[in-house]
Amino acid sequence: MIAIKRYGRIIETSSSQTINYNFKKNQWIFQFTYTHMIRVEMVFLTLATAIDAGVDVVDVAFSALAGGTSNPSMETLYYGLEGTSRQPELEMENVTRLNRYWGTIRKSYHAFDQAQVSPSPEVYYHEMPGGQYTNLYQQAKSVGLGERFEEVKEMYHRVNQLFGDIIKVTPSSKVVGDMALFCIQK
């Protein structure tokens, strides 16, 4: 299995198409594409391009749990691919029923749900992964910097550049975030 993950970076549609084509051409068997909804401007185009290029699996969420720093909506992707050979085989009545269930459950966690409610094109600048975004916001609040989160995001970008524009996955994105908080506090 090949997993194409671009945490805190953008899978540009042309890159997605090239990557998927080359994997299929070289007979890799299974591909998976993952992205966060925080980049809504590109996410469905990227997924559709990856699907057209032959990716086998894309990571999506029920619409009640999608958006913000989560994955794109399964239902939106389903209807976006309607009538194509790559439309997922889903029983939409069952999907709708499960989505309603998860929508009810999510309301119970409202006090803890800190998901960003609208797309944030600024991720093209600071390249912060979606999970890191919500975690860093909570960290910033806990050290008294919640009201200065715009500064934290700017510092995240600067620290990332100082560290060499590193690939940000859980340990490395946390290091960049911790250093950004430290720099603002000092």
pLDDT per position as a tens digit, 62-91: 888 887 667 788 888 888 888 888 888 999
Is residue 16 a contact partner of residue 53, using CB atoms and an 8 Å limit? yes
Residue 125 has pLDDT above 80, yes or no: no
Query: Which pLDDT score, from 0 to 100, does residue 119 have?
Result: 53
Cα separation, 168 vs 175, in Å, equals 9
pTM above 0.95, yes or no: no
CA distance 87 to 66: 19
